[in-house]
Structure 1
């Protein structure tokens, strides 16, 4: 059992919190208010950023002391939205939210994952007709192994998890968010994931 704080109580955060609790972890969910987020982060070993990506950097940079020495799992994508509310452009072109977080929080081990799929797939990857891929980006091998174990608890087979390397590789997976509005407009909100076929 691991103590986990999920920051963000929307569909993504709520879905992850329910699944991780079911897997036997001690999970606290905090909304975006600074006090609630600080208290939850302080008490947890692992913190999951499931807050909207356009405000995540400022929100989490304010928790620098609470996040010191912790693993921060970033599942958000930083985008500006179009008129229909779907992602239209990257907020950090040429970089990523994960890279910005790691720079702002040098004593926190940031791992990027689960950001290349619609949220139901995060906790039920076997729901798709073909194996999906969960990508990992981060500087700390031990932190990535811990996150890999969490993904296994969520139903991810080890062969479905691909370690891309350092935190700079998150710029590639975050750019994949630009596929999402195109697929949704074409096929609706049917669950899907960006996957590598071998």
Structure 2
């Protein structure tokens, strides 16, 4: 059992919190208010950023003390939304939210994952008709191993998880969010994930 704080109580955060609790972890869910987030982060070993990506950097940079020495799992994408509310562009072109977080939180181990799929797939990968892929980006090998084990608790087979390397590789997976509006306009709001076929 691991103590986990999920920051963000929307569909993504709620879905992850429910699944991780079911897997036997001690999970606290905090909304976006600074006090609630700080309290939750302070007592957790692992913190999951499930807040809207556009405001994540400022929100989490304010928790530098609470996040010191912790693993921060970043599942968000920082995008500018179009008129229909779907992602239209990246807030950090040439970089990524994960890299910006690592720069702002040098004593925190940032691991980017689960950001290349619609949220239901994060906790039910086996429900798709073919195996999806979860990518890992981060500078700390032990932190990535811990997150890989967490993914196993969420139903991810080890062979479905690909370690891309350092935190700078997150800019590639974050750019994949630009597929989402086109796929949704074409196929509707049906669960899907980016997958590497071999």
Instruction: Bin the TM-score by the shorter chain.
Output: over 0.9
5 Å matches for 1:1-198? 1-198=1-198
CA deviation vs aligned residue, 1:54-97 (integer Å, no higher than 9, x gap): 00000000000000000000000000000100000000001000
Structure 1 segments, 4+ long, off by >2 Å, are: none
Name structure 2 gaps, 5 residues minimum.
Answer: none
Specify the SS of the correspondent of 2:156. coil
Q: Distance in 2 between matches of 1:57 and 1:162?
A: 25
Q: Distance in 1 between matches of 2:126 and 2:94?
A: 32
Aligned length: 198
CA deviation vs aligned residue, 1:83-117 (integer Å, no higher than 9, x gap): 10000000000100000000000000000000000
Q: Distance in 2 between matches of 1:23 and 1:120?
A: 16
Query: How far apart are residue 53 of structure 1 and its match?
Result: 0.1
Specify the SS of the correspondent of 1:111. strand
Q: Distance in 2 between matches of 1:72 and 1:116?
A: 17
Name structure 1 gaps, 5 residues minimum.
Answer: none
Specify the SS of the correspondent of 2:28. strand
User: Under a length normalisation based on structure 2, what TM-score does the superposition of the two structures give?
Assistant: 1.00
Q: Distance in 2 between matches of 1:94 and 1:126?
A: 33
Q: Distance in 1 between matches of 2:197 and 2:189?
A: 22
Query: How far apart are residue 150 of structure 1 and its match?
Result: 0.2
